Structure 1
Amino acid sequence: MSTKTLGIALLGVGPGSEPHLQSLATLADSVDLRWALARSNPDKARAAVPPSTRVTADLQEILADPLVEAVIVATPAYTHLEIAAAALAAGKHTLVEKPLDVTLARAEELVGRATAHGVHLGVVLQHRFRPGAQRLKQLLDSGALGAVQSAVLQVPWWRSQEGYYAKAGRGTLARDGGGVLLTQAIHAIDLFRSLVRVRAVVASQIATTAIHTMETEDFASALLTLGNGAPGVLVATTAMYPGRAEVLELVCRHATATLEGGTLRVQYHDGRSEAVEGEAKSGSGDSIMDFSPDAHIALHRDFFGAVAEGRPPTVTGEEALATHRLIEQIVRQGKERAA
Structure 2
Amino acid sequence: MPRPRNIGVIGHGAMGRQVARMLTTEPELTRLVGAVTVGTRRPRTGEAPRSRTALPEQALPEQMSPEQVIADPRIDAVVITTPTRTHESIALSALEHGKHVLVEKPVTLTASGAEHLRAVARRAGLGLQVVSQHRWAPAWEAVHRLIGEGSLGRVSSATVEIPLWRSDRYFADDPARVEDQLWNLAHHELDLAIWCLGPVERIAFCETVVLDRYRSSTTACLVHRSGCVTTASFTSGAFPGRMPRVCFNGSTGTVVVEGGSVVVDARPDPETVPDAGLYLPSRPEEAGSADWLAPYRRQLAAFFSALDDDPPPALDDAAISTVSTISSLQNLPRERG
Q: Does 1:54 pair with 2:98? A: no
Corresponding residue SS for 1:189? helix
Percentage identity across aligned positions?
Answer: 26
User: CA offsets, 1:63-112, max 9 Å, x none?
Assistant: 34433211101111222233222211111101111112345554444334
Which residue of 167, 174, 177 maps to 1:168? 174
What SS does structure 2 have at the residue aligned with 1:307?
coil
Farther off after superposition, 124-133 or 322-331: 322-331
Q: Secondary structure at the match of 1:54?
A: coil
1:209 maps to 2:218: no
- Counterpart position of 2:295: 295
Q: What letter is aligned with 2:224?
A: L
Contact map agreement 2:41 2:66 (CA 8 A) in 1: no
1:31 aligned partner, one-letter code = V
Question: What is the rounded CA distance, in whole Å, between the counterparts of 1:22 and 1:245 in structure 2?
Answer: 27
Superposition deviation, residue 121 in structure 1: 1.1
Is structure 2 residue 247 aligned with structure 1 residue 245?
Answer: no
8 A contact 1:146–1:253 mirrored in 2: yes
Quick check: 1:195 aligned with 2:196? yes
Contact 2:5/2:32 (8 A) holds in 1: yes
Residues 193 and 318 from structure 1, CA distance in 2 versus in 1: closer, same or farther, beyond 3 angstroms? closer
1:223 aligned to which of 211, 221, 224: 221
- When residues 186 and 84 of structure 1 are mapped into structure 2, their CA distance, relative to the original with a 3 A threshold, is same
Of residues 22-31 and 293-302 in structure 1, the stretch that sits farther from structure 2 once superposed is 22-31
Please give the per-residue CA displacement for 1:1-29, whole angstroms capped at 9, x wherever unaligned: x3421211111111122442343231112
CA deviation digits over 1:220-261, x for unaligned, max 9? 111122333233210011211221211111111121101112
Q: Which of the numbers 259, 262, 269 marks the counterpart of 1:261?
A: 259
SS in 2 for 1:153: strand
2:56 is matched with which residue?
none
**In 1, are the aligned partners of 2:20 and 2:38 still within 8 Å (CA)?**
no
Segment drifting more, 121-130 vs 100-109 = 100-109
- The 1:319–1:193 alpha-carbon spacing in structure 2 relative to 1, beyond 3 Å, is closer
**1:71 and 2:75 correspond:** no
SS class of match (1:219): strand
Residue 208 of structure 1 aligns with an amino acid whose one-letter code is: V
Alignment partner of 1:10 is 2:12: no
The amino acid across from 1:320 in the alignment is A
2:4–2:31 Cα contact (<8 Å) kept: yes
TM-score w.r.t. length of structure 1: 0.82
- 1:329 aligns with 328
Q: Distance in 2 between matches of 1:106 and 1:317?
A: 14
Greater alpha carbon shift after TM alignment, 69-78 vs 22-31? 22-31
Is contact 1:261-1:278 (8 Å) kept? no
Match of 1:99 in 2: 106
The aligned amino acid for 2:266 is: Q
Letter in 2 for 1:316: L
1:279 equivalent in alignment to 2:285: no
Alpha carbons of 1:109 and 1:143: their partners in 2 closer, same or farther (altered >3 Å)?
closer
Q: Could you tell me how far apart the structure 2 residues matched to 1:102 and 1:53 are?
A: 32
Query: Are residues 1:307 and 2:307 paired?
Result: yes
C-alpha contact (below 8 Å) 1:11/1:74 kept by paired residues = yes
Judge conservation of contact 1:157–1:245 (CA < 8 Å) in 2.
yes
Q: Is this contact kept in 2: 1:121–1:317, CA < 8 A?
A: no
Q: In the aligned structure 1, how far is the partner of 2:207 from the partner of 2:239?
A: 20
- Closer, same or farther in 2 for the Cα pair 1:136/1:82, shift >3 Å? same
Residues 290-335 of structure 1: per-residue CA shift (max 9 Å, x gap): x71111111112211221323443x616542221101122334x41
Query: What secondary structure sits across from 2:333 in the alignment?
Result: helix
Deviations, residues 178-199 of structure 1 (Å, cap 9, x unaligned): 32x2111101100100101233
Q: Counterpart in 2 of 1:184? A: 185
Counterpart residue identity of residue 183, structure 1? N
In structure 2, what is the equivalent of residue 284 of structure 1? none
Provide the C-alpha distance between the structure 1 equivalents of 2:35 and 2:121, rounded to a whole number of angstroms.
22
Distance, in Å, in 1 between the alignment partners of 2:121 and 2:196 is: 25
Taking a change above 3 Å as real, the CA distance of residues 106 and 231 of structure 1, as seen in their structure-2 partners, is closer
Q: Does 1:35 align with 2:34?
A: no
Q: Which amino acid aligns with 2:328?
A: Q
Q: Shift in Å at residue 142 of structure 1?
A: 1.5
The aligned amino acid for 2:172 is: A
Count residues in correspondence.
315
